[in-house]
Amino acid sequence: MKLAKSLYFQILCAVVLGVVVGHFWAQQAVALKPLGDAFIKLVKMMIAPVVFCTIVTGIAGMTDKRSLGRLMSKTLLLFLGLTIVSLIIGLAAVYLFKPGVGMNIDPATLSTEGLTQFTASAAKLGVVDFFMHIIPDTFMGAFNKGEVLPVLFIAVLSGFALSSMGEKGKPVLDVLEAASAMVFRIFGYLMRFAPVGAFGALAFTVGQYGVTSLGSLAKLIGTLYIACAFFVLVVLGGICRAHGFSLWKLLRYFREEFLVVLGTSSTEPVLPRMLEKLEKLGCKKGVVGLVLPTGYSFNLDGTAIYLSLAAVFIAQACNIDLSLGQVVTMLAIMLLSSKGAAGVTGSGFVALASTLTVIHDIPLAGLALLIGIDRFMSEARALTSLASNAVATVVVSISENACDKQILLSRLNGEPVVEPAPAAVGPDATWVAKPSHHG
C-alpha cells in the first residue's frame, strides 16, 4: 500500500500512537524517552557536516561575492522585523485574553525546585558571550558540539578561501560535493527512524506530564497557540502572498518535517532535510545554506511570541501592573535574549529566565508556574519558528533572484518538475545574485 510507505503517514501514526500510549500507559511511556533522545542525537551528529558542506559549496558557486554582504544584511533585517512583530503579537494576545488574571499568586509561595538548571543557563547568556561563542576554540572544535553558528562561521571563511583559490581549490570542492552527497544519503537513512523517534518523544511527554496537567493552565496554552496561529496565517501568509506563492502549499510541502518537530519539540532534527527540500524548490544552494542555518539562531519567532506572552502572564498571575516603560524595556531585552538562547536545551524557557533575571519587575519564582507545562508549549514555539524560517528562506531567495519561480510553483502544486542540470561549482560558476526589485 503506497500510503503505508509514506513517511508522512508513518510519522502521523506514530504521533497519534505516542499520545495514546502516554495517556493510558503513563509509567511504561516514560521509559520510552530514550527512543526520542536517540533519534535526535542521531540526526544532530549530521548537522555540522551538512551545514558545512552546503555553505562552502554554495558560496564557492557565487561569482559575485559582494552579493553575500547584501544577502546577509537583508536576511538579518528580515529576521529582526519578524522577531519584533512576534513579540508584539505575544504581548497583544496576553493583554487581550488575560490568561493570568484572577490567579492571585503570591510569589513567596511558589516552589523554585527544578528551576536551577534553567537559571544557571540564563546567567551565562549575554551579548558578548553570545558573539564570542560563535568563534570556536579550534577549526575542528566547531564540529564537536554540532552547534550551527560556529560551523556557519568557519564555513563562510572556507567558502571564500576556496573560491579565491581558483583551479587550485577545485579538488577540495569536488571532495566536498561528494561528501555533501554522502551525508545527505546518510541522513536519508536516519529519517526512516523518524516515526520511532516521534513516538518515543511524544509518549514520554504525555506520560510524564499527563494531559490532565493542562487543565489549570489551559487558557495560557490556548492563548499561545492562538497567537502563533495568527502569526503564521496572517503575517507569514501575507508575506507569501506578496511574493507570489501560497503559504498553505508551502506548509503542505514540509508536512513530514512539521510532524517530526511536533513529535520531538525540536527543529534541529529536520535542518538537513529542510536544506535539501528548499533546494528542490528552486532556491539556490548558497542562499539556502546561509539563510536557513542563520534563521535557526536569529529567527526564533515562536520563542519570541512565548517570551512576551509568558512574562506578562506571570505578572498578571502575581497581580503586578507593568508600566509602558517597563513593557518596552522588557521587549528590548527579549530581542537579545531570544537570540542568545539559541542552541541551549529548553531555549524558550532559558530565554525567559534570562529576561526575568535582568528586568527584576517580574519575580523569577513565577517560572514555577510554567515549568510543568512548558513542554506542551514548546511544540507551538518550534512549529512557528520552523514555518517562519522556511518562508524567510524562500522570500530572501526570490528577492535575490536566486529562486526559479517556475520550479517553486510546480513543486508546491505537486506537478512534475524537470530537474535542472547540476550547477557549476567554483570560480567559473554561472549564478550571480542580482539586485532585487522586490525590496
Whole-number pLDDT of residue 93: 95
pLDDT confidence band for 3 (50 / 70 / 90) = low
Residue 135's CB: how many other CB atoms inside 10 A?
A: 12
Whole-number pLDDT of residue 47: 78
76-108 per-position pLDDT tens digit: 899 999 999 999 999 999 999 988 888 777 776
- Cβ neighbours of residue 124 closer than 8 Å, sequence gap 6 or more: none
Whole-number pLDDT of residue 53: 85
pLDDT confidence band for 146 (50 / 70 / 90) = low
- Cβ neighbours of residue 79 closer than 8 Å, sequence gap 6 or more: 294, 295, 298, 299, 392
Q: Is the pLDDT of residue 48 over 70?
A: yes
Q: Is the pLDDT of residue 119 over 70?
A: no
Q: What is the dihedral of CA 61, 64, 67, 72, to 10 degrees?
A: 40
**Mean local confidence (pLDDT), 392-402:** 92
Whole-number pLDDT of residue 410: 92
> Average model confidence (pLDDT) for the chain?
80
Whole-number pLDDT of residue 432: 41
pLDDT confidence band for 427 (50 / 70 / 90) = very low
Minimal CA–CA distance to 292: which of 396, 399, 407? 396
Max Cα distance, the chain (Å): 70
Minimal CA–CA distance to 54: which of 182, 169, 141? 182
Whole-number pLDDT of residue 312: 92
pLDDT confidence band for 346 (50 / 70 / 90) = low
Report the C-alpha gap between 80 and 394 in whole angstroms: 17
pLDDT confidence band for 369 (50 / 70 / 90) = confident
Whole-number pLDDT of residue 61: 67
Choice among 246-260, 280-294, 363-377 with the minimum mean pLDDT: 363-377
Q: Is the pLDDT of residue 138 over 80?
A: yes
pLDDT confidence band for 435 (50 / 70 / 90) = very low
Using the structure block, give the residue that is written with the C-alpha cell 501575507: 238
From residue 24, alpha-carbon distances to 10, 19, 196, 330 in Å are 21, 9, 19, 42
Structural Rg of the chain based on CA atoms: 22
Minimal CA–CA distance to 225: which of 81, 392, 94, 337? 94
Whole-number pLDDT of residue 424: 44
Report the C-alpha gap between 56 and 48 in whole angstroms: 12
Using the structure block, give the residue that is written with the C-alpha cell 542540470: 421
Minimal CA–CA distance to 152: which of 53, 223, 260? 53
158-172 per-position pLDDT tens digit: 888 888 887 888 888
CATH of domain 15-63+80-412: 1.10.3860.10
Q: Measured between alpha carbons, how far apart are the two ends of the chain, in Å?
A: 47
pLDDT confidence band for 436 (50 / 70 / 90) = very low
pLDDT confidence band for 246 (50 / 70 / 90) = very high
Q: Which residues pair with 283 in a beta bridge?
A: 403
Q: Where are the domains of the chain?
A: 15-63+80-412
310-344 per-position pLDDT tens digit: 999 988 888 888 888 888 888 888 887 776 555 44
